[in-house]
Every structure is written in C-alpha cells, then in structure tokens.
Amino acid sequence: MRPDKPALYAELTDDAVLGGRLRLKQKKRGHRVGHDAILLAAATAARAGDRIIDFGSGVGAAGLALAMRIPDVEVTLLELDPELSSLAIENIERNGLSERARAVTLDVAGPAADYAAAGLTPGSADHVLMNPPFHDPSRQNVSPDPGRRLAHAASESLLVDWIDAASRVLHSAGSLTLIWRADGLGDVLAALGERFGGIAVLPVHGRAGQPAIRILVCAHKSSRAPLMLLPGLVLNGEDGKPTAEAEAVLRGAQALPMSGR
C-alpha cells in the first residue's frame, strides 16, 4: 500500500530535468535530485531491449532519465523509503513510462530472497546503475534531516554490500555504473575487487582548474581488461557558467561515453 497521499504530498515540488524532457515530483525538504543522477544516467551504456536496475533510485531520476534517453529499455527502480517509492511510481506514470519501468520498495543490501520475490533473480540484469550514499559520517557533518541523512551518509560496508548485490543480479557480461565522491576512488576499486574489470573512471570537476568532486565509474563483470582513466568532464568554466559539454549532458540528454572512444 502507498503511504497516505495527503500527508506525503503536502509539500512537493514539480521539477523539469533534461531540458524539460522529464518531470519529477519530489519533496521540498530532504534529498533532492541534482546533477549526480543525470550524470549517472548519461554514463550508463545501455541499448534498446536491455534490462536495467537502478539501486537506491529515490524518486526515479537516474533510471527514468536513462529510459527517456534510450528507447525500449526495461527499468526497475529499487528504493528503501516507501514514500520515495510512491513518488517514483507516480513519476513513472506521469512521464508515460509505465510499460517500461516499475518501482519496487526494497533494501539494496537485503537478501537474495527479497530480490527473487520482486522478480529480480540472479543474472537477470544487463546493467545496474547506482548513486549510493557516499558521505563518511566520521569525517563530514551529517544532515539532521532523516531523509537527507539516509540518502547521503554511508556506513562502512554500504559500498561493498551494494556492489555485492549488483554482482548477483548481473549476468556474466553485465555492467555496473556508479557515481561516488572523487576522494573515494580507492574504496570503489577495492570494493569492485576481482569480480569486475574493464573499469573506466571519468572524473567530474565542478569548475575548470579545480580538483574533481565526483567520479563516474563503469565496470564489467568478469572482464580482465585494464583500468582506463578518461579525460574529465568540467561542469562550469572559470567564469562560473556551465560548459557546453555539461549542458549537452544535463539539458540535452547526451550520453557520456565511458569507452574512451
């Protein structure tokens, strides 16, 4: 059952992303959709007919942005918070994606039996994309808002648990795409371990001439291809204005190739 609508929808915003291609209802307070979700969708190299799972999907921004960009992909949105799952269901419907997308209330780190009950059996996915909580509560101030805290603050084992789950649901040639804080690259590579290879890392810079603030990482299950560090994406120039490359992705729905070509 969905949460009580009057209480849930008392304070929502209706926002346009991807240059107006995608409309999202979301809470005014708590975790809000930002650039990370759209960059994640752009970096996911799916093709028509592929089966996609979006881990920790929130109101559906990344998974639905991917579905809007690539025709005929099938997207499952996994979200622990039932209120956000309810909003994701509404966002699926209002964007005309009901035949290709669904939302499931599920703990990403939950047991395989919970996945199976939702129709997500081992080896059933072509791609997993994830924007896990990545702030270290021992090093950074954590928001007092429960929604923001759940979406932003990572436990020590969370990344490993989520990558374990991705490895389970992906078939033998499936791929994983994730976004993480730039200073946590070592943690990501360690968590991917020997199960994933062909790893491509794309640094994301908030402003020209500044250190990267995010990394986009694409990895392939069972691959033995070497690590590849790609040229970075700069979101804003030295004048503070969005770069043409960033606008093409964030507003123009252009893909971010992770192959180096």
Per-residue pLDDT of the chain (261 residues; tens, 9 = 90+): 455 555 555 689 999 999 999 999 999 888 889 999 999 999 999 999 999 999 999 999 999 999 999 999 999 999 999 999 999 999 999 999 999 999 999 999 999 999 999 999 999 999 999 999 975 555 545 444 454 444 444 667 899 999 999 999 999 999 999 999 999 999 999 999 989 999 999 999 999 999 999 999 999 999 999 999 999 999 999 999 999 999 999 999 999 999 754
pLDDT at 10: 60
Q: Which of 57, 54, 65, 61 is nearest to 21 (CA)?
A: 65
Q: Contact 78/106 with Cβ under 8 angstroms? A: yes
User: What pLDDT score does 124 carry?
Assistant: 97
What is the residue extent of each domain of the chain?
Answer: 5-250
Residue 192 tokens read as: 């991917």
CATH 3.40.50.150 fits 5-250, yes or no: yes
What pLDDT does 244 receive?
97
Instruction: For residue 148, give the DSSP letter.
Output: H
Q: pLDDT at position 260, please?
A: 56
Collect all residues with Cβ–Cβ distance below 8 Å to 187 and sequence separation of at least 6: 159, 180
CA distance linking residue 89 with residue 25, whole number of Å: 10
Query: Buried b / exposed e across 225-252, counting CB within 10 Å, b at 16+?
Result: eeeeebebbbbeeeeeeebeebeebbbe
**Residues 158, 213, 39, 8: is their CA dihedral positive or negative?**
positive
DSSP string, 42-82: HH----TT-EEEEET-TTTHHHHHHHHHSTT-EEEEEES-H
